[in-house]
Structure 1
Amino acid sequence: MRTERCLTRLDRVFARLDREPERPANLDVPRMSRHRIVLLGATLAFYLAIVWAVVTTSWLVRFDWQVMFFRPYQQWPQVHAFLDYYVVLGQRGPTAVMVAAWLGWRSWRQHTLRPLLTLGAALLLLNATVGAAKLGMGRLGPHYATVIGSNEMWRGGDIFPSGHTANAVVTWGILAYLASTPRARRYLSATSAVVALGVGLTTVYLGTHWLSDVLLGWAAGLLILLALPWCEPLIARAEGWLLARRDALRNRRASAPATPSPAVGAPAFFPPHVAEADTAPAREPVAEPVAAVRPGRAAAHLAQGPHTTRAERSPVTPAGSRRPPNSEHRPPRTTARPLTGA
């Protein structure tokens, strides 16, 4: 008897994604155009210029110190509470969760894994490039500066470039990168630029970053967004591999044999001797060895043939009466009655 398998939540998700096996025809995938290559080269030149200006302790470092001594958080204390919450839009954990939820819904609607895979590739590039630059240059922040007017480089810090700023550029800019229409891409690009600009200036206001850290963070995040089309072939292969693994898993589940259910009305328990008698195959009788005979007692003569157990023997009713003989017991006397005739 075969029963229907209960659908799990993962099966329902796959069923929803398989309603339209083809991806939408208007799904626009950005390509590495000449315009994008020019922007990438200009942003890379700006990135290297900021690093060179900080390493050589140029006018940019002196301007960093002037902004730090200005102490913006003391000049406008009324916005301090709001900016403490606003800077969360640049933290990697909360922003990644929010954007991943939105892109997950997009993947559900468009029946493709590309939005989530693109976000994963962008965050991976962000952690690798920005993290390596932070550890390599080791600049100290304004609150930990030791020598006035110095660039505070290679002293064990990790703020150059600004991670909050680069994360805001990449995380919110990925929404504009994945937009399906040019109009949506323009609006989302402007919105993400405003959010990233505000996050960077907020870190300067709070005194956690130099202004040059924020400039380099903007450049680092923009480089990742401009270089993402080079990752599109790898993203497409990863999506194809994941979908193939999903199909293989579903086929394996479908081809698995169903467990037969017990027949209705069958007894749930059988006595051991009955089960053995019903299920065990018939075997030829085998002569069992006789135990050694004790001294002083005659050997017992066993009848040939198989020996049956007591439970298997058929009952035998003894002939005659079962009462023991009694000498005092006598049969009743029968008195002859006279026959009377007519």
Structure 2
Amino acid sequence: MKVLQLCSSKLYLKAFNYQRRNISAKAFIFQNQFDGFPKESDFKLVKEELPTIKDGEFLAAAEYLSVDPYMRAYAPRVKTGKTFMGSQVAKILESKNPKFPEGKYIVGEYGWRTHTVASGKPLTTGVPTAWLIPDIGKLPKSLALGVLGMPGNTAYFGFLELCLPQPGETVFITGAAGAVGSLVGQIAKIKGCRAVGLAGSDEKGKWLVNELGFDHFINYKTDDIRKKIKEFAPQGIDCYFDNVGGEISSTIMLYMNLFGRISVCGAISGYNETKPAKASIVQYPLTFNQLKMEGFIVHRWLDRWFEGIEQNKKWIEEGKLKYRETVTDGFENMFKAFTDMLQGGNTGKAIVKV
């Protein structure tokens, strides 16, 4: 009887392994370069048969996928006919790579696809294509795409290293209700600063002020921005974290104090423009107020990557840093989640649950 049970178990494991090695992946292929705002026809959802993993490889299944503003900006660099870009939290189903053991969770730069066979080797630039998610306790693993991942580090390093905030200073943040901006404002408060956030709805503004602790909120769609700046920053602005660019940024710079610092994270206001977006020149305030304006890519701090994650995790545990996720269910809804995010439909981090 025991022999029969053993044989049955071996047959089951053999069949199970066979099924695992013959997994199909669903993927969104980038069909056409965007012409203005992305269209559904720019993508094609396909099914792919994955090969058996080889030595040094592993098979990963996506559980959460990220949609971010940078995807629109970087799209011209993606070759058509290829899987569209993006990060995902994935579980390793099978592995022949000791650095990426079976059962572990990773953040992988595998784009809009459900399953991936990969080696985990970094790019020639040194940027990792996958990293193991550290122990985050009972916190959701999806946070590795947000506050405990790239957006969190973008806020942590991009604000602290470039703006160098000092207690008592006034900080302005555009895109304040997004994955990065909502964290920058809270870090500013942790550092003893006043935080003023700009976003596109009163509902988002209430969240920023009532839940996240921002001092003030400006609705850039309905408020008189100059009037509100004078009201909320009567002594001027010391630090500006710029996520949007355009005329709003040019206006904010007019009210910055001598030797103010500007950290440029993005320019979402112009990502979907077919012609270069126009805004008032910024050289006057930059020169007269002797401002420091610097753009950055978060991978500048790769050697300190887990420092940012650990600090943000500590602040969460201490109740000093709050987060919100806008979750879209279903891999087939990647395009909807992407375009909703580009139109400001998300509060906090936008993700897709497979």
TM-score bracket, normalised by the shorter chain, equals under 0.3
Q: Which has the higher contact order (CA 8 A, sep 6+)?
A: 1
Which of the pair has more CA radius of gyration? 1
Instruction: Give TM-score, length-normalised by structure 2.
Output: 0.20
More strand as a share of residues: 2
